[in-house]
Chain A
Amino acid sequence: DGGITQSPKYLFRKEGQNVTLSCEQNLNHDAMYWYRQDPGQGLRLIYYSQIVNDFQKGDIAEGYSVSREKKESFPLTVTSAQKNPTAFYLCASSIQGARYEQYFGPGTRLTVT
């Protein structure tokens, strides 16, 4: 493996706490993405970024925030405003935009109690 990494693999938090999920890639990809994967709902796009210092909301951005200060890194913060944060989170990257193959990380399972 390698290429695109996510840490940690499992994360547990108390309700009301913000938590940041890490995503790093060494593929020199311009674009990076965050998805949420829930049973029966597939992958839903949270945020994406096509260049450094720029990002766009996806379909379910409420309660989440991101930053893209470096090309290699695209951390996702799950805030206390997210009503149902327990989920499996996937990060992906691609050369440039959705036309190109997206490479996925191994995912982080977040459990909020």
Chain B
Amino acid sequence: AQRVTQPEKLLSVFKGAPVELKCNYSYSGSPELFWYVQYSRQRLQLLLRHISRESIKGFTADLNKGETSFHLKKPFAQEEDSAMYYCALRAYGNKLVFGAGTILRVKS
């Protein structure tokens, strides 16, 4: 089965604190994973993908095949990071499977 699990519906942290948004996947093939973000009143957009191995807006995510995880991390949260975050898996049939999403709230 192809599945993406984001266990936290809501993650609330203080400004300057580290952030880790969890994502686990289930997929028998070679996974390709993405993080999408939706800021308030904006469209859903790509944040980063594992094959790029890049840092976007201070966020990084490492694919851990042993733990089937692709957690999103940032060492120091900013208020502008508050948004809905979706983890997604490229699955069979050339489609994306999304997790349920995690709302990140950064408090001042």
Contact = CB atoms under 8 A, between A and B. Distances in A.
| Bound together | yes
A56 B93 contact: yes
B98 A42 contact: yes
Contacts of A40: 9, 100
Interface stretch (B11-19, B42-50, B65-73, B74-82): B42-50
A50 B9 CA distance: 32
A48 interface: yes
Contacts of B93: 56
Contacts of B101: 42-43
A42 B95 contact: no
Interface in B84-106: 86, 90-91, 93-101
A29 interface: no
Interface in A62-113: 90, 92, 97-99, 101-107
B32 interface: yes
A99 B100 contact: no
Given A40-B100, A42-B86, A43-B98, A102 B91 contact: no
Interface of A: 1, 33, 35, 40-45, 48, 50, 56, 58-59, 90, 92, 97-99, 101-107
Interface of B: 4, 6, 9, 32, 43-46, 49, 86, 90-91, 93-101
Which 8 pairs show the lowest CB-CB distances between chains A and B? Answer: A42-B100, A97-B94, A43-B98, A104-B44, A98-B90, A42-B98, A101-B46, A98-B96
